[in-house]
Amino acid sequence: MNKSTDQGNRKRILTIIKLVPTGRVATYGQIAHLAGLPNNARQVGSILKSFSGPNIPWFRIVNSKGEISQRRNESSQSMQRDILEGEGVRFTESNRVDLSQYLWKPC
DNA sequence: AAGGTGACTTTTC
DNA sequence: TGAAAAGCCACCT
């Protein structure tokens, strides 16, 4: 495996994220799995942290509990929730989304 | 080069 | 049910 492979993984992950439709969410692990990196959920978060480009619906990625992951700078967290609610995603009283309802199921 | 870190997940109690 | 621990792996010091 060479250097270009790693960058290819990054590109693959971003490509998958772009496929998540409006009003739906996906988990870090799910994205990693679809990108062919089954045990690299953490890397998905790592990439989203460093790369915030256009056309990347980063806000549709939540953790396995259906909640918005905690981060150093919490400014983007409230923004993430606002955007999702704007797309019709409802949050429970425990600040989680119902994955059985909103989780993206690729066909 | 070796050890710490983190926008995670799964298992264990 | 839920908190805590263990597992994981690319990145950064």
CB A48 within 8 A of CB A61: yes
Q: How far is the CA of A96 from the C1' of B4 (A)?
A: 31
Which residue is listed with tokens 């400014």?
Answer: A75
Residue A80, pLDDT > 80, answer yes
Straight-line distance from CA A98 to C1' C7, in Å? 26
3-state secondary structure of A62: strand
pLDDT tens digits for range A92-103: 999 999 999 999
Q: Chain B: nucleotides under 7 Å from a protein CB?
A: 6-10
Domain coordinates of chain A in residue numbers? 3-102
Q: Are A81 and A91 in contact (CB under 8 A)?
A: yes
Assigned fold of A3-102: Arc Repressor Mutant, subunit A (1.10.10)
The pLDDT of residue A52 is above 90: no
